[in-house]
Structure 1
């Protein structure tokens, strides 16, 4: 009996708390709707600043209300602030409880993406809108436009990629050709240098031959007698090879002169003796020297 009373009391307070929360939620929703209404009036008067403030107040009063976020997104869209509009529409998708709300949010997301030239992403948004309301012909029409736009963008990207690849291939070919030209120019330069070296060697050899030829001529330009030069050289070589006299000794020339003088003296003595014989005078046999 005691436990039953406790349970009943707990249920009573729970029910009362739920009712109070529901009342507060309804009150907040009512207040949010009032702000939404004010925001709509501001939009009709082209006062987007006041409209934005009212829609923000509506979201603050009842965050789960999609009406305030939806209308705020539409106001941003009309002002051209597509990034903020997209963010608010995504909030609507997260808080939406009905397919109709989701359908409208996805449809508007597709429109915002098309404004930003994001055609591929817009195709997916329109598809999600049709999943929630397949009967909307306007969404289906926009889906066709988004598909065509996405296909064109894909073709353009492929073409740009092909152009880039062709440009890269051309640049690589040009680089290869340039490298080949540089190599050919280097080889030609090396060949020229080599030919120049050969030419210089040949010139040097010709100059040396000319010099040798001039060396074989005398002062009058006539060829020199190699044999005469050779004999002269042999004589000089022979004289250079003769032993030089040592200190205190007679040289070969001095000995030769002495022998010639002795021979002359002896010849004179012999002539004198022959003369004495003819006169009958006896000569001395001793030598007086």
Structure 2
């Protein structure tokens, strides 16, 4: 092999080394650990094969609840976070005073740490001194006040509202970038033809944003499946495990209960579910966009 043929590999080798060290090798080792029952301390590991995976789906009720919460979180993210992101992008794509400032204001929560957001919103949900209950009392809706994070029926939705506030900035910026690449000629022709705003949105904006939707939907799905920090910071998975998601339950099994094999099985299941959801979507959308 000549030096010219080796050059691409020489340039790729640092990134490849980092990838193998940080991602590939740990992933393979985690897959290996998922086949054992081990507490992470003793030198002996008990080989159990697929028993950890079977127990997750057949015995572990918290895992099933966490999986349902993850799927619910994904649907909510695709509908609300992505929907509000598109709405804000369309509003802030118009010519108006202060639109640059508004873009920064709406994007700012996204750059904050999840733990910072969790701490602030946990205080807002405080049942006695929190802003939300105080606001409801001020406007005469005392009957609506509530221990939002302490009741299993409302805790997950309360945390999702905080995640919505934080996460809407990312799809907004991506949609803004996509909207600014759309030429004005199709809209001008549609206006001449008498098309209404709803029709131009359906037949011009949405089709021309197909590539942007591919990126936004994929990143939103992945983010919803690996959500962890805001849940851990606001509820710790409680009350009564009602806000557990796969990432938080994996943490508890691995580091709190010292079930390394079970935690590894959860992490591998999380990766597989994400791949099952993402790969068909990306393949179908990419193939359709090239037809």
Q: Same fold (TM over 0.5)?
A: no
Radius of gyration: which is bigger? 1
**Superposition TM-score, scaled by structure 1 size:** 0.17
**Superposition TM-score, scaled by structure 2 size:** 0.17
Q: Which has the higher contact order (CA 8 A, sep 6+)?
A: 2
